[in-house]
Amino acid sequence: MNNLNDFSRTALLRLDDRELNELASRMRQFLVDSVAATGGHLGAALGTVELTIALHRVFDSPRDVMVFDTGHQCYAHKILTDRAAGFSTLRQSGGLSGYPSRAESVHDWVENSHASVSLAWADGIAKAIARDSSSGRRVVAVIGDGALTGGVAWEGLNNLATAGHPVIVVINDNSRSYDPTVGGLSVHLDRLRRGDTTAGNLFESLGFAYLGPVDGHDIGAISAVLREATATGRAVVVHCVTAKGHGYPPAESDEDDRMHACGVIDPATGFPSRPNKRMWTDVFGAELDAVARTRPDVVALTAAMRLPTGLGALSQARPDAVIDSGIAEQHVLASAAGLATGGAHPVVALYSTFLHRAFDQLLLDVALHRLPVTVVLDRAGITGPDGPSHHGMWDLALLAAVPGMRIACPRDPQRLRELLREALDVKGPTALRYPKAVVGEDMTALAQMSGLDVLYRSRNLPLNVLLVSIGALAPECLLAAESLTGEGIGVTVVDPRWIWPINPALVAMAARHQFIVTVEDGIAEGGVGTRMAQAITTTRTHVLGLPTDFLAHAGREELLSQTGLTGAAIAETCRRLVAEQTTPAGTALSGSLR
């Protein structure tokens, strides 16, 4: 067999141990070369090559159900299910998803890439299969030890242990999520890895059969244990010990876990093949570190994302000021409420997409108690190649629904620094959000009016359009303004800085213009622009934002263009509004007037 597409499950069953190891080596090199060219989740994919081969030798996918938790460990699974050719388009528009995708293959059952839900899915699927007692189908959930720190994973374990269904839970134990796994579970798994059962076995105590630990890079050993697990006819935990990045030296020696998710790299060295540019995350991390040096009350919290959310510098300078609670966003927000009650000012650093999981705690633990907790949302708006489960599109609509919440959207590095410091002085809940993008240059305001920054004003032209720029879309609004001014359409561009609650000065400014156009990289329906339209009754308002839909994976700039959030598209909208100024008033949602 000369190419990866030749390897079907039937072929795997015919290979001897030497041939299987050769296959694993070839797959690993294929993954390194492919991900180096496109970017992607490399460390987790490399660590599960042998495990995935064993799964496909023992189980008959898709008749037997394989659920991969989080999903970035599924690259070898994609190769073995006839998708190797698609890796040249990995995470590109119209190309292969970086996560399981039901649209791609019948072998993919779950495409949500948020961690810890696989056990609940497996529980539900097993219950559905059990309705046909003659089917003989099997259900396997592959979950990392990092994902097991999530609360919903414990809910899954609790239900699976006594449900009476023969679900096989494969723990891919590599001692990491991004950072090393934390908490009592990590300690317990370490004891089990060392064969120390003097304190008992958690999984057996819950009601599971337990098999392992087994070397996750020994295909024969894993296959044997999986067959033994199947023969038990009951819920069983298979404890599989792997090494993240196994077989690729740059990933194996990567203490900062750069290879968990990487951009385009040199496959020989593992280092970026293009110069690193300063990101919004870098600016936040440096400023928080600077602030915390003079503010002992500042404590940063993260849900297994210390380095990706920019907390590396602070964790080195003040290790006591950074708390990693594992993949447990609900716990993080509730714990932050406790810290704030005790006199600290917690800064909770999350990816925007993961805020959804802790909305209840934000609403009823933080906001209900009017506590000074600052939530910093990285990867807000369009994130790009990670696709629909990772776009930070929903945060503005959610945050604006929280009583007492103040929301800031910085347009440039200096505003991020200023707004972070301002947030830390607020005696109540605050949120800052910024995109996954290279940060631009500072944009100095022409004037400041009661907390508003005026970024642009057409000279000697009527006040046709007030462009309300939300955060990092300011450059696009300025491009639109310059184009419109050249056509004789008067434009004012204003950055509210604190976008919620609405600044009364913005209402007064709107009254002097024919139209307001709000521009945000969150969903338009229920977003900040729509709320502005409801509050500003003196002027027709048009809301530009993202559709309430699941946007596919593609480059950030490409998706902004597709959704009408570029300078040219914003200018065209304003141009149309001015031309249609006699249109009767309607309701202001994306694409319509009020």
The residues that are catalytic are 244, 329, 357
Residue numbers in the known binding site are 72, 113-115, 145-147, 174, 248, 329
Query: Measuring CA to CA, how many Å separate 257 from each of 56, 177, 183, 269?
Result: 28, 9, 19, 14
Hunting for tokens 């919440």 — which residue is that? 405
CA-CA distance, 287 to 358, in Å (whole number)? 25
CA-CA distance, 34 to 40, in Å (whole number)? 9
* SS3 label, residue 593: coil
SS (H, E, C) 474-539: HHHHHHHHHHHHHCCCCEEEEECCEEECCCHHHHHHHCCCCEEEEEEEEECCCCHHHHHHHHCCCC
CA-CA distance, 237 to 99, in Å (whole number)? 24
Residue numbers in the known binding site for Mg(2+) are 145, 174
- The answer to whether the beta carbons of residues 492 and 454 sit under 8 Å apart is yes
Hunting for tokens 């999981």 — which residue is that? 357
* SS3 label, residue 146: coil
Q: What are phi and psi of 254, to 5 degrees?
A: -90, 90
CA-CA distance, 217 to 238, in Å (whole number)? 14
Query: Measuring CA to CA, how many Å separate 367 from each of 335, 395, 400?
Result: 13, 15, 12
- The answer to whether the beta carbons of residues 141 and 169 sit under 8 Å apart is yes
* SS3 label, residue 572: helix
Residue numbers in the known binding site for thiamine diphosphate are 72, 113-115, 146-147, 174, 248, 329
Listed residue (292, 524, 267) closest to 394, CA to CA: 524
Listed residue (261, 267, 209, 276) closest to 238, CA to CA: 209
- The encoded tokens of residue 55 equal 């799964």
Hunting for tokens 């310059």 — which residue is that? 482
Listed residue (485, 495, 506, 499) closest to 571, CA to CA: 485
CA-CA distance, 526 to 547, in Å (whole number)? 11
- The encoded tokens of residue 25 equal 């080596």
